Structure 1
Amino acid sequence: MRYIFKFPDIGEGLEEGTIVEWHVEKGQSVKMGDNLVTMETDKVVTGIPSPRDGVIAAKFGKVGEIIHVGSALVEIDIAGVEGDAAVEEARKPESEKSFVEAVEEEGAGVVGTLEIAGNSMVLSASREGVNSEKAASSKERKVLATPVARAVAKGMAIDINSVKGTGPGGRVTKEDILNFTKEGSNAKPISSGSEEFSKQSAPQKRVEIEQLSQIRKTIAKNMLQSKHNAAHMTVFEEVEISELERIRGKYKEIMQKEGVKLTYLAFIVKATAMALKKFKALNSEMDTEGGNIIYKRYYNIGIAADTEKGLVVPVIRDADKLSVKEIAKEIIVLSEKARDGKLTLEDMKDGTFTITSYGSIGGLFAVPVINYPQAGILGVGRINKKPVVKDDSIVVGLVLPLSLSVDHRIADGGETARFINAIMGYLSDPVSLLMD
């Protein structure tokens, strides 16, 4: 029996993924749970495990190609299943323990389902490429094409949907685009503006065209969604943290011996979680369809992390229940995973509030964009020495700039001010974190 395994939805709202690396070859034997391919989605880079034991009969797609959810990834030859038995196998539901559960127990971290296409999964013979109409589950699906083909088509102002693909799975290749123009086809321009742009810039090579990565697409979509749906309001404050620095300096070396880097961020996360418990509007989201505000009684703080591939937001769960030391440990683990591109969907879901710390790079204040549908985001700027007044005397103080953006539909100005004042109180007097 020939079994077509289609690219599963490994995250809510996922539409496509890019092939990063193949781990199998045609003719190779695989076991259920073996890693078939590494895919980059709009959230993570993750391995896709095999749903069955068998032999790889065909692979669909090359490294760098975009694969849509529901499109064929591999064809697996399952020995000992033929004829009517094969039809029965294709129609049969998963075993007692589903494919996803079995894989998650082995630590693959993939969330998705195996899409079964009835009798179409029983093939009499294998073909390395499949017809695009069969590979796609809908005619309305975005055309399959290589990144190079898309770039060439864009540069030549050609509507790639008008080009018939000859590559694996009906994909449009660079050669297809070039042949399309040689054959004198009526190329459908993208727009007159694009055509003019192409004529002026392409010969001079004064521009560089780079296809959006999955992560960048998601960032763009989420930022627009947030600005469109949330009524942003931002307040700015400064807090003097000399006492926090004294306590941090006292325990920094002790914790360093235990492999824990005690950063300012650990204190800020703890202070934010404690303040959220007092001001529930900032730990909520609006259900516009139901006409409700959903108040969350758990406090999962997302930490925006700057990586080479873009911004990701891993989550520290139940931060209110963790000590500063435990939070510091979590920050180290999540930062390393973010840097190495090993964050899973589990690491980044269920956040209730976000902190973005840009101060280590530079900048004092900002207008952070809310991680929608959350109600707020706290921006942390660069710590600097400034004159401050203490006991009616001017002294040199250590000042931390804060920028708080909230959804004004949920949080009023008064509650917003009280919330940031609570955070500032904890940071200026860190011992108070132990009192609540």
Structure 2
Amino acid sequence: MRNSKKYIYLFFLRSFSVLLMLGFNFYLIKNLADEAIGLFYLTMTMSYIGNAFVFVGCDLFIQRKLVYLQDDFSIHQESFFKFIFATSVIGILLITLFSSLFFISIQPSSIDVVLGIASCCFLSLSVYYGNLIKNLFQLANKQYKASFFQIFDACLKFSVFIYIFHTLQPDEKKVQVSILTYSVILVIVSLSFMLAAFKNNVEHKWRIDTIGQVTSRILPIGFSGVLNWVQLQGYRPYLAAIQAQKELGIVSYMTSLASTATASVLSVINQIAIPKIYQSSGEYIHFHLKVILFVSLIISVCSIPAGYLFFLMANKLSYTAYLYILPIGVLQEAVNAVIGAYTHVFNVRDNKLSVFVECSGLGSAVVIFSLLYDYMFGSDKVLLVCLAILVSQLTVCGYVIYKASKGYKCHVTRV
């Protein structure tokens, strides 16, 4: 009975967070042209380089090191923050390198280039720190705090964007100044929150014996993350480079709207499932996959009528021609949830994480082939990108489940 009340409470907290995110998306589409929406998602895509190659793997590494948080919720703060600082510097250097090369080629002025690079760097850090806080709370079975932090994140983003949208012109400046302001505030709050939330345990040192032990866990996830970036977001810089900003805005907005709503629902399930996956040494995955499938099917069925009502209220009926993208966005996020779940399984069982490099490589190959086809022969860009996402996600999901069912296990040194 107690657990039922807990899950209901978490559901309502997450539902409130969903409403905030949907409200933000509604505000975005009401106040920006398609091209400016494209710039918003392009900035998010370029910022994800650091998350993909460094930060996601670091997050998993930290979770595995700090399983004892379930008992005393304490860490050795000095060692912990040294690790956070070192990994942040590496990620920022990568983001600066890639984003500067890209923004120099598409932005008309040096101010826009600097603004774009700064937005990408701080946005990536805010995602890293925010996810780290939420995952550590989930690992420590403090799901309420994880949910409250998500609500705070959504409120902060909504508030900053509303304020800046009413004080700046033109749309392009609004987008990147809003992203930069929101990200800087969230980085500061996240660091302060980590200092205040976790007790300092001076007896337990954060020991990393060798660099090889760290890289053996982080690099496979990093390479997998970069390939996953190519698979799911690689079309964005491609469309920007060929001056197809309108198509970029449409596809990005529709898939993100559906995936955001789906992720919001699935995150409640993940908050419950992640501790159980670690506690059961991965055995809980079988039930967790059934729940993901059931919930995703319901969201897919509801997405089209809900999407029509959403765009009707936003006075953007031109978007109703692309309602078929919404179920694809739901599927995209459902597969991401499956991959994320298996990442925890492989992580806790000491399995070789390079399996995720293999599956992401297959998915990215499908997308690269599709974009090459468009470049050489031309096509309906919106439809082609959607089909590429759909086929690549099904390929990735099938490959991971196949490997898991074959007992894909290979011992690596424990960290």
- TM-score, scaled relative to structure 2: 0.24
| Relative contact order higher in (CA < 8 Å, ≥ 6 apart) | 2
Greater fraction strand = 1
- Return the TM-score normalized by structure 1: 0.23
